[in-house]
Amino acid sequence: MTNTTGKMFQVTTFGSSHGRALGAVIDGCPANLELNEEDIQKELNKRRPGTSKLTSQRNERDHVEILSGIFNGRTDGTPIACIVLNKNQKSKDYSNLRQAPRPGHGDYTWRAKYGNYDYNGGGRGSGRATIGHVIGGAIAKKLLETKGIQIVSHVTQIGNIVANTVPLNEIQHKIKLNPVRCADNVAARQMEKLILDCKAEGDSVGGVVETIATGIPAGIGEPVFGKIDGDLAKALMEINAVKGVEIGSGFDAASCLGSENNDEFIINPMINKNDINLKKDVITTTNNCGGVLGGISDGMPIISRIAVKPTPSISKLQNTVNLKEKDNTPLIIEGRHDPCICPRLTIVSESATAIVLADHMIRSGFINPSNIKRTIF
């Protein structure tokens, strides 16, 4: 089983939904990055259950403890180990799943591969395991911020309700105004109603989450294997419940002409202004490529979208099989589950994106791998 991602900035996650604890070990973070538990906690709070009526009512504080890798408030170059204890497991809710795989879950396939499967809350395959993603992502984001890189994720669609486009500089503020984390507050109210209607019916609904990374220099990524968009797509597809990924215009590019899809280059008209955030002399008039050309960043915002399936744990009557008796059998799933995963998945998408970008920033020479206070060469 592979539990580690990254080449130079590596994140190894561990733990399960109903085990004693979950967490992550981050190896390859350069020394001298200012870091404390609050930096990680504020990110974990965005994916905590029980924070609104749209989420699972499992009551977990998700308090993080840093065990190693920090000295005098800064990273010291050694592995950073972090742990979050589980406090509110209710394993009895899953006793009927011992021999009955849930439709839409990995229960059956995990059994087929490993034989010995922790069916309580999905075990290691639970969405709760993304706590490790968020821990690694929080540290990656702190590292990226030293280079002026910012990442934000927001919900753009729930079911058949699609949000209107909101200016990039307004997204970070507006997603805090509603529990859906949608920047279009009119659409957010409709989305919230749809989610609650599905919840009342014992059902669930999916959607789309968009992630935007800004401040990235041109030149990170590899042209053949190790493309920045390839690694990003892989990281996003490895998030639970994600069934599709697109970069930039994505699948819409298939219906465009080349003259419509190409992003034309221009000299940055702001280049002569005294603004430290405007470091690029060449930009594009559009961004259909999503900030990536030939597998390498072009300096424009890197934009991705993920298609998120409806939560498979629903309380409606479903059909499955009894693996021991070899019979067909009805199933009603108990327990506490999100009627829509998208709102809490925004921070997981941000985290996965941050881990990939931090790894590539180090690999491409923009961040010193040993000490952030030193230049690379």
Q: Which of 66-80, 120-134, 257-271 has the highest mean pLDDT?
A: 66-80
Higher-confidence residue of 56 and 316: namely 316
* Helix orientation angle between 228-237 and 342-363, rounded to the nearest 10 degrees: 150
Are β-strands 327-331 and 318-322 bridged in parallel, bridged antiparallel, or unpaired?
antiparallel
213: helix, strand or coil: strand
Q: Other CB atoms closer than 10 Å to residue 182's CB: what's the count?
A: 32
Could you give phi then psi for residue 286, rounded to 5 degrees? -130, 180
297: helix, strand or coil: strand
Could you read off the pLDDT of 53-87 as tens digits, one per residue? 887 776 678 899 999 999 999 999 999 999 999 88
Span 226-246, mean pLDDT?
96
CA atoms within 13 A on the CB side of 331: 27
The domain limits of the chain are 4-248+289-363
**Separation between Cα atoms, residue 266 and residue 289, nearest integer Å:** 15
Tokens, residue 77: 């170059």
What is 4-248+289-363's CATH superfamily? Chorismate synthase AroC (3.60.150.10)
What pLDDT band is residue 275 in, cutting at 50, 70 and 90? low
- The secondary element (H helix, E strand) that includes residue 29 is none
Could you give phi then psi for residue 96, rounded to 5 degrees? -80, 0
- The secondary element (H helix, E strand) that includes residue 124 is none
